[in-house]
Amino acid sequence: MGEALTPRETYEGMLCHALALAGEGIGLTSPNPCVGAVLVDPHSNVVGTGFYTYNGVKHAEVVALEQAGAKSRGATLYINLEPCAHYGRTGPCADALIAAGVRRVVASMTDPNPLVRGKGFAKLREAGIEIVSGLLEEEARRLNESFAKYIRLKIPLVTLKTAMTLDGKIAPPPGVLQKDAQERAPGEASRGWITSEAARLHVQQLRHENDAILVGVGTIIADDPLLTDRSGRPRRRPLLRIVADSRLRLPLESRVVQTAKDDVLVLCSFAEEKRKGELQKHGVRVQQISALAGNGRPDMSGIVRCLGEMEITSLLIEGGAMVNWGALAAGIVDKVFLYYAPKILAGTGSVPFAAGAGFQHMSDAAYVKSINLHRFGEDFAVEGYLRDPYAD
């Protein structure tokens, strides 16, 4: 017989189960958090589980309580996020746990929502329920980092993603890809991909985790991408495809326009009415954003404020060199996901990761912290943060 598990090992094992359940809600909960719950009776039997989806309305705790029924009395709840103590679309989960006779709550983290933040734990303690918190907190925080940013500041978590060569190039000289496409035989694989298929599949996972994706109109003109979530996983609402396009140059024959179903948003700084009407007839939404002084491009800070008003909690930027620099210069980037292929493109004509003026001094450079490395065959990616999504 193996050694008996310590209480901490038991708690962490069940919290892993709760986190896995919470992950089932990715793409289905925004603008609310991903939450998973596991109820375990005094004999260590799992008697109820649940995870939250926005359309399902009921919180994970309530789903688990309903599944467990009378077996909830004396049970321990394992959950990745503090139970709520306020009225929203549903009543307080803390009240439901108290009424069900739950004995202990083991939670990974405090809810960052100012309406909750410790109040759920306080209500449960007042009712005599034991609280254990802080286990697997890092994993829980990462799962709901976009919710944490949005619920406190009402703007989305912004991730800057790109694929590049080891020498920091995101494309060969302008015009080369178009020439390659014209010369490519039917069925021949594109010569424009930088990273491998494995890395590109992971990009679909990133898209699935985000509410919106943004590119500049230059990317549409050069590459004609679809910008869709092709992860195969369900979403509550379509991935919002955003094009930053100062003067509405977006081609009507582009794939994003031809496939628009109220899920394409063009943000411009100048809206010519005839052109605006043509786009709207194709199901494209057009919204004007104040221009950034000096270059006429839509202000990036204004863009994230606009998206926050639309309850967009997370934005993935897959822009070209100027969009990347604009996002960095505006200080809107929270994290980066930079994919690298073991290739060196070289040449002054090749397109760099970020163009524009750049930071003038090393002390001014964007500093990436809390770095994680990911491997995709021969490719790798750097994931890191420019700011803590939980910091005020």
Give the catalytic positions in this structure: 61
Q: How far apart are CA 167 and CA 164, in angstroms?
A: 8
389, 145 Cβ separation under 8 angstroms: yes
Half-sphere exposure (Cβ direction) of 197: Cα atoms closer than 13 Å: 2
Q: Which residue has the tokens 């700011």?
A: 387
DSSP string over 237-290: SPPEEEEE-TT----TTSHHHHT-SS-EEEEESS--HHHHHHHHHTTEEEEE-P
Beta-strand pair 36-40/46-51:
antiparallel
Peptide bond just before 251 cis, omega within 30 deg: no
Q: How many CB atoms lie within 10 A of CB 112?
A: 21
Residue 382's DSSP bridge partners are 338, 373
* Alpha-helical regions (H) of 210-260: 217-223, 255-258
CA distance 267 to 17: 41
DSSP lists the bridge partners of residue 317 as 160, 214
Judge residue 355's burial from the number of C-beta atoms within 10 Å of its C-beta, 0-12 exposed, 13-18 middle, 19 or more buried.
middle
**Which has the closest alpha carbon to 132: 102, 105, 103, 93?**
105
- Distance of alpha carbon 282 from alpha carbon 290, whole angstroms: 24
Please, is 343 exposed, middle or buried when counting C-beta atoms within 10 Å of its C-beta (0-12, 13-18, 19+)?
A: middle
